[in-house]
Amino acid sequence: MSANHSPAGQQPTATYESAFLKACRREPVPHTPVWFMRQAGRSLPEYLKVREGIPMLESCMRPELVAEITLQPVRRHNVDAAIYFSDIVVPLKAIGIDLDIKPGVGPVVQNPIRTRADLAQLRDLTPEDVSYVTEAIGLLTAELGPTPLIGFAGAPFTLASYLVEGGPSKNHEHTKALMYGDPQLWADLLDRLAEITSAFLKVQIEAGASAVQLFDSWVGALAPADYRRSVMPASTKVFEAVASYGVPRIHFGVGTGELLGLMGEAGADVVGVDWRVPLDEAARRVGPGKALQGNLDPAVLFSTTEAVQTKTREVLDAAAGLEGHVFNLGHGVPPNTNPDALTRLVEYVHTQTTR
């Protein structure tokens, strides 16, 4: 049972009644809730201190360290939700994929998956493979009190891109070539990744996560017809796999303005929007029955406080008619952001939107 659940006949929990979860459910909120993608990370000096000398993947497998890093932005910024500190390739590492996260590069896969024989590398993920996740979330839910915890995973397309390319890619040539050239192998690859991703999200929800976000970082590289035919079925499978838990499901990708309607159709309750599409236009593209999340341009954080507030006001004004709105950046927090700018931003949104 997740902290998000309010079982019939029982009093709703403080977490269930939080502004963040209410906004996700498109219910009236006391203020617009705020959290930031990559809020736990290199923008915080306390993060750099506890991570010093510890490789990224190792840090994701130390429960007490994960809990501390996840809590840091909640303490500092008074955000309305915590997001579990991890990396999208953690479940791949957990099932034995030979990969590492190289500083300044990102995930690097030693043996890219490009043939049917390569699919054998992708075995099922079990809770025992990621016992450190269950332990860390247990620590977190005890510490967070009413603040919801967001679990997350990489979406099948983005995981496939890392696996097929062997690392980060600007143009995803190998990935698209496989998708276009061997549709059946591609479908089987994404289906396997959907099963792994679903299992990883289930572990987080069963341990106490109150919502989940599916990050499809690279899916903006696709045309809508290719997304619908070759990617959406796998993302839908993930959302359907966790539907019975009753926790809000968030779907986010970068550069996905042309895909927003399809991303909502894939099964999310909340659609994340990057900074390129105003939220009122995003709502038109997504259609009714969905909350939206976003979408301040992260670059404005390097400007003046006045500029941040002006751009934030624009986001809030564009969100005025939405069924539900969770304030966020349109992408992750840049590593060299002044953390004080984020603290001021949270305070500004809360002050401006208190009902």
Query: Which amino acids are annotated as binding site for substrate, given as ranges?
Result: 38-42, 87, 162, 217, 331
CA distances to 178, 286, 319 from 30, rounded to whole Å, are: 48, 25, 15
Catalytic residue among 87, 118, 182, 191: 87
Dig out the tokens for 330 from the structure: 């349109």
Dig out the tokens for 29 from the structure: 């909120």
Residue 326 pairs in a beta bridge with: 293
Catalytic residue among 42, 229, 276, 344: 42
* CA–CA gap between residue 278 and residue 229 (Å, rounded): 27
* CA–CA gap between residue 240 and residue 105 (Å, rounded): 33
Dig out the tokens for 80 from the structure: 């309305």
Instruction: Please tell me what DSSP assigns to residue 123.
Output: P
Residue 47 annotated as catalytic: no
Residue 84 annotated as catalytic: no
Residue 116 annotated as catalytic: no
Q: What element of type H or E holds 194? A: helix 183-207
Residue 228 annotated as catalytic: no
Residue list for the binding site:
38-42, 87, 162, 217, 331
* CA–CA gap between residue 15 and residue 30 (Å, rounded): 14
Residue 132 annotated as catalytic: no
Dig out the tokens for 316 from the structure: 């809030």
* CA–CA gap between residue 33 and residue 22 (Å, rounded): 9
Q: Which residues contact 20 (CB under 8 A, 6 or more apart)?
A: 33, 35, 80, 81, 148, 211, 326
- Are the C-beta atoms of 231 and 190 separated by less than 8 Å? yes
* CA–CA gap between residue 47 and residue 309 (Å, rounded): 26
One-character DSSP codes across 118-173? GGGG-PPP-GGGGHHHHHHHHHHHHHHTTS-EEEEEE-HHHHHHHHHHSS--SS-H
Phi, psi of 85 (to 5 degrees): -80, 120
* CA–CA gap between residue 49 and residue 58 (Å, rounded): 15
Just list the catalytic residues. Answer: 38, 42, 51, 87, 162
